[in-house]
Amino acid sequence: MNKTNPKTFSRLMLWEIEGCLNLPTLLLIVASAIVAVLIQSSSPRSLSNSYINLYDGASIIFLILTLVTCTLFSHSFAGSLGKGELKRILSYPVKRWQVFTSKIIALTLIVFSVYASAFTLNLYLSSLSPLEPMFYISIFTMFLHLLLVCAVSVGISIALRSELMSTLASFLLLFGLDMAFDYRSYLSSNGRFTYIFSYFQQVFHPNFSYSILEPPATAQQALISIATPLFVVAIVLIGVFVYFTRKMEVD
Amino acid sequence: MEDQIIKTTNLMKTFGKVTALNDLNMQAPKGISGFIGKNGSGKTTTIGILLGLIQSNGGTATVFGLDCWHDSFEIRRRMGVMHETNVYPGSFSGQRFLVHVAKLYGISQINPTVNELLKDVGLTYAQDKPIKTYSAGMFKRLGLAQALIGSPEMAILDEPTANIDPLGRITLLKKIKDMHEKHGTNFLISTHILSDLEKICNWLIIIDQGKIVDQGYMNNLTEKYSASIYKIEVSNPQVFAETIQKLDTVDKVWIEGDKVFCKVNNPEVFNEDIPKIASKLKLRLKSFQQMLGTLEEIYTQTVGEKPT
Ligand SMILES: Nc1ncnc2c1ncn2[C@@H]1O[C@H](COP(=O)(O)OP(=O)(O)OP(=O)(O)O)[C@@H](O)[C@H]1O
Ligand SMILES: [Mg+2]
């Protein structure tokens, strides 16, 4: 009796994606991604034919990615809560967990695929082989950062219920962390990227003359850099998920 | 016994210090039920609880005999809703939006259903236009369509006629009535526009400050309240009103225009008193009649204020 329609989940997801594709939003995401990559590749230290270009100026990509992701998730969560759109959707025969997860997966997929595609421009700009392992390490770190921003902005969205406030608050929080902590801290996106990049640099390019970090990062440092955001993401998303599905009042 | 589709007992809801619902005992049987009350009386809050969007602080609420918070999914499967605020995805066309909603209800014949609904609510001409270009009346009609899409057993409409011109209101209400007759859909319609309900409701729920003041079948209520209200035209309403105010048979007196209204508790005695009083005060009694109960009078008596 309490069965959900098995296709409801995918329909909600397609709906969310279609909502994004309809607006000028998609154009904005794509443009922001391309701009981010172009700024990055014109960094002054740019070496030709070097994977090091992937590291240089990555903070710009992270910054713009943070801004876009905060805006998008705040719009989708706080925006639809504040405007009453969520109220309408939750009045249809859908389960709350379906609405929550479909929103997160759909938006993450969109942002990630756009940014990953734009990032492949780097292969061309720096004349790298498509098999360059550091390219995939960079994309992975980007994905990790995306998840973190997603969790933070969803959490703040549900707490503040105002699109503008939540965009600002989550962006300022993440941007503030990046500003307050430098490239040798697990708390800044740049710091985590540096550790991960530096560790894998030794693994894949042990004989390369230039190392981004002296001494190079250890496996443990790389691991903590990966685990920290994942841990925060898990805690925040599980907490918000439980609240959203069991307690949250929509009015 | 399972005649009541909606039933709440001692339902409580507070928002911080504000008590929105205070021991609400509400019932709605099959048919078209009107849910009336002033701004802030708790209508939208009640609807939120019925849909499992808001959790109550006490008491019980059931729809189709199912608990509104725990079985809300099953309830929503059998119910359609149109909320007070209409937020629809602006970039979608009306048709495309309804197709999306139809899919959520797992309807098999999607296109015929959507097209028929669009025709029923009179939106076919605009079905391909983006929703953001719709007017307020079109929004409401789209809202009605999306509430009715799953052929629900019951549709809840929160202020369906707000913001609509008189002609549009009549058309919309007629649509609701048609739907009830054609598909047997039951309705709960919240509003503070009384004349709307008079035409279509068979059950009435009056809410004030989070409490039910009265509820029942329309004809019973009109009978109950009409018998005790009088409309009197005299040459000097002020003096007359002041005098009858002192009578034991009179509970309440008010003046509208140049007519005196009063609520009495013993019509037989009052009927005989009126001409006597008028002649004693040397006033000319122009007319004197028991009111036929209209919704407005019921409302005035229960909520104690002129309706908006
Ligand atoms: N989220 C909320 N937070 C605080 N108070 C609320 C909230 N929602 C409703 N209230 C209060 O609860 C009371 C009932 O509000 P409700 O919206 O249910 O009234 P209503 O009958 O629908 O009024 P209207 O005719 O204006 O739509 C009001 O006093 C309102 O201020
Ligand atoms: Mg309301």
A214 close to B (CB below 8 A): no
In this prediction the ipTM stands at 0.83
Nearest to B259 by CA among B284, B294, B234, B295: B234
Nearest to B218 by CA among B159, B293, B133: B293
Give the model's pLDDT for residue A33: 80
B269 versus B25: the higher-pLDDT residue is B25
Of B43, B68, B73, which to mutate for an interface test with A (greatest number of A Cβ within 10 Å)? B73
Give the model's pLDDT for residue B261: 86
Residue B211 has pLDDT above 60, yes or no: yes
Residue B302 has pLDDT above 90, yes or no: no
Which chain B residue has its CA at the smallest distance from A76's CA?
Answer: B89
Name every residue whose Cβ is closer than 8 Å to that of residue A109 and which is 6 or more positions away in sequence.
A17
Instruction: Determine the residue of B8, B43, B51 to mutate for testing ligand 1's pocket, defined as the one with the most ligand atoms within 8 A of the Cβ atom.
Output: B43
Residue B98 has pLDDT above 50, yes or no: yes
CB A222 within 8 A of CB A200: yes
Is B44 in Cβ contact with A87 (below 8 Å)? Answer: no
Query: How far apart, in whole angstroms, are the C-alpha atoms of residue B250 and residue B165?
Result: 39
Query: Which residues face B217 on adjacent strands?
Result: B203
Provide, rounded to the nearest whole percent, the portion of chain B with pLDDT above 90.
42
The helix-helix angle for A96-119 and A58-74 (nearest 10°) equals 150
CA pseudo-torsion sign B57, B60, B64, B66: positive
H-run or E-run covering B264: strand B259-264
Residue A8 has pLDDT above 90, yes or no: no
A97 close to B (CB below 8 A): no
**A138-174 tens-digit pLDDT:** 899 999 999 999 999 999 999 999 999 999 999 999 9
Residue B207 has pLDDT above 60, yes or no: yes
Provide, rounded to the nearest whole percent, the portion of chain B with pLDDT above 70.
94
Provide, rounded to the nearest whole percent, the portion of chain A with pLDDT above 70.
92
Give the model's pLDDT for residue B226: 66
Residue-averaged pLDDT of chain A: 86
Q: How far is B54 from chain A (nearest CA, A)?
A: 5
Query: How far apart, in whole angstroms, are the C-alpha atoms of residue A96 and residue A180?
Result: 37
In this structure, how many other beta carbons lie within 10 angstroms of the beta carbon of residue B70? 10
Query: How far apart, in whole angstroms, are the C-alpha atoms of residue A191 and residue A182?
Result: 6
Give the model's pLDDT for residue A206: 79
Q: Which stretch of B6-10, B58-62, B240-244 has the lowest confidence by average pLDDT?
A: B240-244
Residue A130 has pLDDT above 70, yes or no: yes
Alpha-carbon distances, residue B58 vs A94, A249, B4, B22 (angstroms)? 25, 15, 20, 9
Q: A140: burial class by Cβ within 10 Å (0-12, 13-18, 19+)?
A: middle
B3 versus B187: the higher-pLDDT residue is B187
Give the model's pLDDT for residue B308: 43
Which two tokens mark A229?
């955001």
Give the Å distance between the CA of B45 and the centre of ligand 2: 7
For residue A215, whether the previous peptide bond is cis, meaning omega lies within 30 degrees of 0, is: yes
Query: Among partner residues A11, A93, A250, which is closest to B76 by beta-carbon distance?
Result: A93
Of A4, A92, A103, which to mutate for an interface test with B (greatest number of B Cβ within 10 Å)? A92
Give the model's pLDDT for residue A160: 94
Nearest to A55 by CA among A193, A183, A149: A193
Q: Which stretch of A124-133, A235-244, B8-17, B140-149 has the lowest confidence by average pLDDT?
A: A124-133
Mean pLDDT over residues A182-188, rounded?
A: 84
Residue B137 has pLDDT above 50, yes or no: yes
Predicted confidence band of residue B229 (pLDDT cuts 50, 70, 90) = confident
Give the model's pLDDT for residue B275: 86
Give the Å distance between the CA of B20 and the centre of ligand 1: 6
CA pseudo-torsion sign B58, B42, B62, A6: negative
Instruction: Determine the residue of B13, B14, B15 to mutate for testing ligand 1's pocket, defined as the one with the most ligand atoms within 8 A of the Cβ atom.
Output: B15
Give the model's pLDDT for residue B269: 82
Residues of B with CB under 8 A from a CB of A: 44-45, 48, 51, 53-55, 71, 73-74, 76-77, 81, 83, 85, 87-89, 91-92, 100-101, 103-106, 150
In degrees and rounded to multiples of 5, residue A142 shows phi and psi of -60, -45
- Residues present in chain B in total: 308
Predicted confidence band of residue B102 (pLDDT cuts 50, 70, 90) = very high
Give the model's pLDDT for residue B293: 60
Which two tokens mark A150?
């997603």
CB B23 within 8 A of CB B42: no
Query: How far apart, in whole angstroms, are the C-alpha atoms of residue A238 and residue B143?
Result: 34
Mean pLDDT over residues B12-23, rounded?
A: 93
H-run or E-run covering B58: strand B58-63
Name every residue whose Cβ is closer than 8 Å to that of residue B276 and which is 6 or more positions away in sequence.
none
CA pseudo-torsion sign B37, B41, B44, B50: negative
Mean pLDDT over residues B136-162, rounded?
A: 90
**A21-75 tens-digit pLDDT:** 766 777 888 888 888 777 766 655 555 567 777 777 677 888 888 998 999 999 9
Ligand 1 pocket by C-beta < 6 Å: which residues?
A 251; B 15, 18, 20, 37, 39-45, 84, 192
The residue to which tokens 């609509």 are assigned: B164
Which two tokens mark B208?
């004030």
- DSSP code, position B135: -
Residue B146 has pLDDT above 90, yes or no: yes
Q: With contacts defined as CB-CB under 8 Å, which chain A residues touch B103?
A: 7, 11
Mean pLDDT over residues A201-207, rounded?
A: 83
Give the model's pLDDT for residue B62: 94
Q: How far is A82 from chain B (nearest CA, A)?
A: 11
Is A87 in Cβ contact with B83 (below 8 Å)? Answer: yes
Q: What DSSP letter does each residue of chain A carry, written as one string?
A: --PPPTTHHHHHHHHHHHHHHHSTHHHHHHHHHHHHHHHHHT-TT--TT-THHHHTTHHHHHHHHHHHHHHHHHIIIIIHHHHTHHHHHTTSS--HHHHHHHHHHHHHHHHHHHHHHHHTHHHHHTT--TT-HHHHHHHHHHHHHHHHHHHHHHHHHHHH--HHHHHHHHHHHHHHHHHHS-TT-TTSHHHHHHHHHHHHHHHH-TT-S--SSSSPPPHHHHHHHHHHHHHHHHHHHHHHHHIIIII----
Chain A segment 4-63 residues within 8 A of B by beta carbon are 4-5, 7-8, 11-12, 15, 18-19, 22-23
Residue-averaged pLDDT of chain B: 87
Residue A5 has pLDDT above 70, yes or no: no
